[in-house]
Amino acid sequence: MSERWILVDGYSVLHAWKRFATRKARALSLGQRREMLVKLLRQYADHSGRRVTVVFDGYAAKHKPEGSEPTQGVETVFSERGKTADEAIERLVARAEYKARILVITSDTMERRTVEAMGAQSLSAEVFESEVDAALQGLAGLVRQHSRRRRIGTVRDRWER
């Protein structure tokens, strides 16, 4: 795993990314959209080798426990009741030993300035969407290439028999 830790403001991303603004996505429940985001971030983390934590506001997550929710590949954190994801992200940055290795993803300009003042780096949700899309396209290409090799090998094996 890369030493870079990516902290994602979950609802900021859900509101900023085009794929979650479609009519089809808007018809889904908030919980379903959260799950879609976590799945995408898990694929990104697997492909990039980066540690990813997505932080959601606890008050907006009905029927979800406060604290952390286990998800393989991506840590999902819900802020404490009455606290925002911004506060949880700031607390995580403040407690981190190597703040310069943290990349915070949010479209909240004030939050970006706050974490940058603390020593972390930040990126808007929109720019991060492009990075995730590029990584997932690369991953899809690798999967196609691997699948093609398997098919070719199977056909070659049959031909040589």
C-alpha to C-alpha distance for 22 and 106, rounded to whole angstroms: 20
pLDDT band at 153 (very low <50, low <70, confident <90, very high): low
Residue with tokens 């998800």: 71
Provide the 3-class DSSP secondary structure of residue 104: strand
User: Which numeric CATH code is attached to 5-160?
Assistant: 3.40.50
| pLDDT in the model for residue 47 | 87
| pLDDT in the model for residue 1 | 45
Which sequence spans correspond to the domains of the chain?
5-160
For residue 110, the number of C-alpha atoms closer than 13 Å in the C-beta half-sphere is 2
Residue pLDDT, tens place only, 27-36: 999 999 999 9
| pLDDT in the model for residue 62 | 57
- On whether the pTM is more than 0.85, the answer is no
Q: Which residue did the predictor score with more confidence, 59 or 25?
A: 25
Residue pLDDT, tens place only, 104-151: 999 999 999 999 999 999 999 999 999 999 988 876 666 666 666 555
pLDDT band at 69 (very low <50, low <70, confident <90, very high): low
Average pLDDT over residues 25-50: 93
Q: Which residue did the predictor score with more confidence, 134 or 152?
A: 134
Give the whole-number percent of the chain exceeding pLDDT 90: 66
Secondary structure (DSSP) of 76-111: EEEPPTT--HHHHHHHHHHH-S-GGGEEEE-S-HHH
Backbone angles phi, psi at 41, to 5 degrees: -70, -30
Average pLDDT over residues 45-71: 73
For residue 160, the number of C-alpha atoms closer than 13 Å in the C-beta half-sphere is 6
